[in-house]
Amino acid sequence: MVRRRVYLQRGVALAMALHVRPEAILVHPQVSDRAELLAQLVGRAVNQPELLRQPELREETMLAAVLAREDECPTGLGYGLAIPHARLPGLRSPAIAFALLNPALDFGATDGEPSDIICLLIVPEDAPQIALQVMAHFSEFLLDATHRQELRSLRDPVIVANYLQANILASQSPILARDIMRPARTEVRPDTPLREVTRRMLAHGADCVSVADENGVLQGVITSDDLFKSGMPPFFQQLRTVSFIREYDPFARYFEGESAKLAADVMTQDYAAVAEDDTLIEVVFLLAVKRYPKVYVLRDGVRVGVIDRFVVLERVVNF
């Protein structure tokens, strides 16, 4: 049976208010490389009132943390957006600085394009969710080419600050499934031969593959466990031990029927699915508590993304 979406209470607010001031905004600064830009942004961020109240936090320390995070993992997100960031122990309030560049600089974005919209975030070590939410709001807003064009056309730091505050930083919404999902690497049709299903799973290193019809509507999933169990008689599910049949070949039945079976014969409809606007807690609940290997993100029944434990570790826990 399809796992029904779990509706939990929404409205989780940012743990700390985040504001960008005009003096922390650079419009077309003259910089020769990424390191010089980051140094200027950190200089603007550290001179904000919140950080001036913590003189023990040195600018050099902050810059080193930002550069180390940048070396560890590029922060370009695509569409010309980059969000360099760092988590700093002892920091009591988050700091933000922003730059519009011309020309753009390489921040290692996955789409291969340089970045000209740069948002620097320095957050307390124990509050990475602030940066995650800002990153999600920026990404969602800038998916619209009109919004990108509007932002790039601004020149006055005061107007830029007001624009960012009204359209992005004022958002109090939680992290959603669409913010962390990734495209699924493989999909099969119900009439795909089982032998081809197995080959694709092996080729993609996937222990779970989705089954969708010609319109992309999700019909079920096939896991490696499903393949293993397809070779065992049904009564095996009730056994506590197999020590009395140690010589039994568990894959004999699998190979007997492999050439004739299709994906539809093996798939299960017991899978986890959420909508794009379902929250991170709902996703983690399905992965960690209900123990589903993957959570499929659906739009009108069509799979638009997938989230597994590795995605959560990579995009959230390892932030």
CA 263 – CA 221 distance, rounded (Å): 9
Is pLDDT of 250 > 60? no
Domain boundary among 151, 173, 195: 173
Distance of CA 84 to the CA centre of its chain: 16
Per-residue pLDDT tens for 201-215? Answer: 888 888 888 999 999
Determine which of 69-73, 83-87, 259-263, 282-286 has the lowest per-residue pLDDT on average. 259-263
Domain boundary among 173, 200, 221: 173
Domain boundary among 173, 195, 210: 173
Query: How many structural domains compose the chain?
Result: 2
Annotated catalytic residues are 85
- CATH number of 65's domain: 3.40.930.10
Per-residue pLDDT tens for 254-281? Answer: 566 666 789 998 898 989 999 988 888 8
208 forms beta bridges with 223
Share of the chain above pLDDT 90, in %: 31
Query: What local confidence, expressed as pLDDT, does residue 12 receive?
Result: 33
Average pLDDT, the chain: 82
166 and 262: one domain? no
Query: What local confidence, expressed as pLDDT, does residue 15 receive?
Result: 38
CA 166 – CA 75 distance, rounded (Å): 24
219 and 137: one domain? no
Q: Are 203 and 303 in contact (CB under 8 A)?
A: no
Q: How is residue 132 annotated by DSSP?
A: H
Band of residue 40 on the pLDDT scale cut at 50, 70, 90: very high
Q: Which two tokens stand for residue 31?
A: 């910089």
115 and 205: one domain? no
Q: How is residue 165 annotated by DSSP?
A: I
Band of residue 74 on the pLDDT scale cut at 50, 70, 90: confident
Query: What local confidence, expressed as pLDDT, does residue 107 receive?
Result: 93
Band of residue 224 on the pLDDT scale cut at 50, 70, 90: confident
Query: What local confidence, expressed as pLDDT, does residue 9 receive?
Result: 30
Is pLDDT of 86 > 80? yes
Q: Are 102 and 29 in contact (CB under 8 A)?
A: no
Map tokens 């959603």 to a residue: 176
Query: What local confidence, expressed as pLDDT, does residue 266 receive?
Result: 87
pTM over 0.85: no
Residue 36 vs residue 143, higher pLDDT: 36
Q: Are 274 and 5 in contact (CB under 8 A)?
A: yes
Query: What local confidence, expressed as pLDDT, does residue 251 receive?
Result: 60
221 and 305: one domain? yes
- CATH number of 192's domain: 3.10.580.10
Domain range enclosing 206? 187-317
Residues sharing a CB contact under 8 Å with residue 165, sequence separation 6 or more, in sequence order: 19, 20
157 and 295: one domain? no
Per-residue pLDDT tens for 110-124? Answer: 788 999 999 998 888
225 and 313: one domain? yes
Q: Which of 282, 199, 289 is nearest to 209 (CA)?
A: 199
Share of the chain above pLDDT 70, in %: 82
Is residue 182 one of the residues assigned to a domain?
Answer: no
Mean pLDDT, residues 92-99 taken together: 88
192 and 246: one domain? yes
Distance of CA 230 to the CA centre of its chain: 33
Is residue 40 one of the residues assigned to a domain?
Answer: yes
Is pLDDT of 14 > 60? no
Is pLDDT of 174 > 60? yes
Residue 253 vs residue 280, higher pLDDT: 280
Query: What local confidence, expressed as pLDDT, does residue 220 receive?
Result: 93
